[in-house]
Chain A
Amino acid sequence: MEILRYAIYRFGTMLLTLWVVSVLVFVIINLPPGDYLSNQIAELRASGQTAGVEKAEFLRREYALDKPLWQQYSIWIGFMPGPHGFSGLIQGNFGWSFEFDRPVAEIVGDSLWLTVLVNLAAVLFVYLVALPLGVLAAARSRTWVDYTSAFVGYLGLATPNFLLALILFYYGHRWFGLPIGGLMDPIYEGEPMSWEKVKSILIHLIVPTFVIGTSGASAMMQRLRANMLDELGKPYVETAIAKGMAPSRMLAKYPLRVAFNPFVADIGNLLPSMVSGSVLVSVVLGLQTIGPDLLQALKSQDMFLSAFILMFVALLTLIGTMISDVLLVLLDPRIRYEGRDA
């Protein structure tokens, strides 16, 4: 049950990290002078609409925005009861979006799942592409296979995500008739799940997955290739070949297994940049993930909405990293359980 203990330990550190992140997020959100409501109040005052002012004042009190910052923080996170039963994140109350005048939970709703879906698809894509290509590039090193994959990899790393998105959308639409923009056909929006809807989402996922995954896949591929090359030079490989083992079987049975661990561990390092990428790409492609909401909320200082989304994005990465850490320990019994000094 060592592994269970490690998982629990890892979970604990994740919670701790999450707490620090929440402080960080709250501070950043409160950095710009003023907030949505005081801006609105000033605006309403200027135009002489007293009714609106009262409502805004009410919201300010209701969400404890007139209190000192540390109290605002504790109420938002849920360590402290807010006025009139406003409870915080821990109790599952994500707050109120002042701009849309609706609860945050209602606004983000479906897009949370779509965000997870997009990122999962991208991670899968990274593995599916990087594994065969990396092995192939190592096994056929210094041939055109190697050079082509290295070249494509470098291009993938150097092209800004959003440009790649625009280009792929354009040609994807032109040559393959792939749909442009969004994560599903507009007719399915707000509809309950059905096969048709799933199919529509899958087709719409192709381009975003490709775009978000490319830079990760090329980084991963180069890493795997380097690891494989290290292993391929070792005597045991020579022995296996000398004994007449089929090359493909030999590759899969020995060097790949050794080179595989960093491959799993690396997803933890890649995940933050991939989630970043998904936010950016979502904005450009108009995907119904939380990316566009975040941008909008940040621009209008809609603090509860942006803070919640930032927290969610952080949580997503932290969980991903945790899973990859635990998986790594499962895969490689040599790793100490006390924590990984990678």
Chain B
Amino acid sequence: MSQLPDGRFVDDAPYDPQQSIRELERKDLDAPNWVLIWRKFKTHRLGLISGAFLLFCYLMLPFVGFIAPYGPNERQSEHLYSPPQGINLFHEGEFLGPFIYPMTSEANLETFQWEFEPDYENPMPLRFFCEGKSYRIAGLIEADTHLFCAPSAEVPFFLWGSDRLGRDVFSRILYGAQLSLTVGLIGITVSFVLGIFFGSVAGYFGGRIDWVINRVIEILRSLPELPLWLALSAAVPSNWSPVAVFFIISVILGILDWPGLARSVRAKFLSLREEEYVRAAEMMGASSGRVIRKHLLPNFMSHLIASATLSIPAMILGETALSFLGLGLRAPAVSWGVMLNDAQNLANIEIYWWTAIPMLPIVVVVLAFNFLGDGLRDSLDPYQQ
């Protein structure tokens, strides 16, 4: 930048009068859709943070065995209902690194409870990258190194306390995430496939098929979900393996969720079916399936993804509710709902409040999905101001 004698500033870059002044905008217009979406999504701070958080959660799932100090069903029978322990750094003004005060337990013969008291005289450092119970990374690779473990086998360490059977709540929450978070994904896949299939068939062909599908949608939408979920999961035989039960529960959650999606797909199809490019494709002999898949669906795929994101929380809450009532996943499977089953009555929560900790991840994850969905929905149509 140089200054002319009359005080104006002029750019030194050579001036090319031939250059189109619209070039920058052109670049914008030619950018692929996802770049535009991403650019707009970035401005949605809450959605961005939520998305990053959820990504982190899901990426963590295969490695929970490494992060959790204990196995999901590993019991410390000497430490039932041990309260949460903090990690300390300073002992009497002296820096010791991460350490804990071991808990001394004593039976109270009046209330018949174990009473735990931290032993402040005796700090014990945590061990890191230590060997513990073996686990599998992503269910495949066997390993036994843990991020951190208790000082020794006799002195257990429960970050968020231990439950009725002396199992570590923190480790169980991590393992529970594996099921609780994937239930939503499987359920939404089922609902997505069903919703798109029925919605597009109804919207594209219209006529009698449309009428029938529409009635089915209306009926399913007017029914209370939970009692039907309950009835369907009560029908799952109790001798099935936890994995099978898990899959069938997610499918059940998805089966009752598709009508909402199908309805919006149908509405879109009704308006797009009359477009000229559809007619053109049909005249060139494209089959109905091809027209639906190649020409119609891509139009609002992003919109569908946003609404799918918004309905994942309902499934996570659904699984939690079912397991909580004892009709969903069952022990030895670990999910957040199964864990909350322990916190079912008030007296329990009052005395052992840490058994209700699994509600925190539920609330946080559900909120994150809501924010992410909102952000996606707002940024989906990049051409709209």
Contact = CB atoms under 8 A, between A and B. Distances in A.
A298 B226 contact: no
B329 interface: no
Contacts of A29: 231
A288 interface: no
Contact of B231 (A28, A33, A170, A275): A28
A299 B234 contact: yes
A32 interface: yes
Contacts of B320: 160
A301 B327 CA distance: 13
B313 A299 contact: no
Contacts of A159: 359, 363
A161 interface: yes
A32 B237 CA distance: 7
Interface residues of B, number: 39
Contacts of A269: 221
A19 to B, nearest CB: 10
A277 interface: yes
Contacts of A163: 340, 356, 359, 362
A276 B362 contact: no
A158 to B, nearest CB: 4
A17 B315 CA distance: 25
B317 interface: yes
B126 interface: no
Contacts of B226: 276-277, 279-280
Interface string B334-371: 00000010011010011000001001001100110010
Nearest to B225: A276
Interface string A22-37: 0011001101110000
Interface stretch (A45-53, A64-72, A242-250, A310-318): A310-318
Interface in B66-125: none
Contacts of A299: 234, 326-327
B222 A180 contact: no
B325 interface: yes
Interface in A306-342: 306, 309-310, 313-314, 317-318, 321
B227 interface: yes
Nearest to A181: B346
A160 B234 contact: no
A160 B321 contact: yes
Contact of A298 (B218, B224, B327, B366): B327
A158 B325 contact: no
Interface residues of A, number: 48
A283 B322 CA distance: 12
A158 B371 CA distance: 11
B170 interface: no
B59 interface: no
Interface in B225-248: 225-228, 230-232, 234-237
B324 interface: yes
A91 interface: no
A155 B222 contact: no
A158 B370 contact: yes
B344 A31 contact: no
Given A276-B224, A317-B224, A155 B219 contact: no
B283 interface: no
A276 B227 contact: yes
B55 interface: no
A28 B363 contact: no
A158 B366 contact: yes
Contacts of A284: 344
A155 to B, nearest CB: 7
A21 B223 contact: yes
A157 B326 CA distance: 23
Given A28-B235, A160-B320, 18 more contacts: A20-B219, A31-B235, A155-B363, A158-B313, A158-B370, A160-B317, A163-B362, A170-B350, A180-B346, A272-B222, A272-B225, A276-B227, A279-B224, A295-B230, A298-B234, A298-B327, A309-B227, A313-B227
Q: Which 10 A-B pairs have the closest CB atoms?
A: A276-B226, A31-B235, A298-B234, A158-B366, A275-B224, A32-B235, A276-B224, A158-B367, A272-B224, A28-B231
16 contacts: A17-B218, A32-B236, A154-B367, A160-B359, A162-B321, A272-B223, A272-B224, A272-B225, A280-B226, A280-B325, A284-B344, A295-B327, A298-B234, A299-B234, A313-B224, A314-B223
Interface of B: 215, 218-219, 221-228, 230-232, 234-237, 313, 317, 320-321, 324-327, 340, 343-344, 346, 349-350, 356, 359, 362-363, 366-367, 370
